[in-house]
């Protein structure tokens, strides 16, 4: 359950901008593991990406002169079964950790998914789940 780099890229909200961004990443053999897109003002939007290679992504975004930020987020593995999101959200709530946003993705070829959590303290969140895993806890 690592801390992961998330890239938030600001884009014009018009046809083709997402395709151009994703094509530039694909040409550098960068795999997008998780994706979220949202509008934030008229004509502007943002895309959040978790990728398999943060260094190559940063270099590609810089070359393309994209407006972006990097954030550390918590990446928590989820089994593919009922109640997994409830377990994660409840555990964080019990410890007073607020989830600012979240979305999910999957490793290539995996049977499980992971949850990306935007929280105030990604290290504290990861430590909580690592301690639970070491203790054999699943709730």
Residue range 95-132, pLDDT digits in tens? 999 999 999 887 777 777 788 888 888 888 888 888 87
Residue range 18-74, pLDDT digits in tens? 999 999 999 999 999 999 998 888 889 999 999 999 999 999 999 999 999 999 999
- Helix (H) / strand (E) element for 86: namely helix 84-94
What residues pair up with 4 in beta bridges, in sequence order?
73
| Homologous superfamily assigned to 3-71 | VC0802-like (3.30.2130.10)
CATH topology for the 73-134 domain: Alpha-Beta Plaits (3.30.70)
Tokens (6 digits) for 72 = 């550390």
Spans of all domains in the chain: 3-71, 73-134
How confident is the model at residue 138, as a pLDDT? Answer: 53
Q: Label residue 80 by pLDDT band (50, 70, 90).
A: confident
Separation between Cα atoms, residue 108 and residue 101, nearest integer Å: 23
């Amino acid at each position: 359950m690592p801390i992961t780099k998330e890239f938030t890229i600001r884009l014009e909200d018009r046809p083709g901008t997402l395709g151009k961004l994703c094509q530039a990443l694909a040409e550098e053999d960068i795999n997008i593991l998780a994706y979220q897109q949202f509008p934030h003002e008229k004509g502007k939007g943002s895309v959040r990406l978790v990728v398999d290679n943060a260094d190559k992504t940063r270099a590609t975004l810089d070359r393309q002169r994209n407006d972006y930020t990097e954030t550390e987020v918590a990446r928590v593995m989820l089994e593919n079964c009922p109640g997994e999101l409830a377990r994660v959200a409840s555990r964080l709530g019990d410890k007073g950790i607020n989830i600012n946003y979240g979305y999910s993705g999957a490793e290539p070829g995996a049977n499980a998914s992971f949850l990306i959590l935007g929280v105030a303290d990604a290290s504290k969140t990861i430590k909580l789940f690592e301690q639970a895993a070491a203790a054999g806890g699943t709730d």
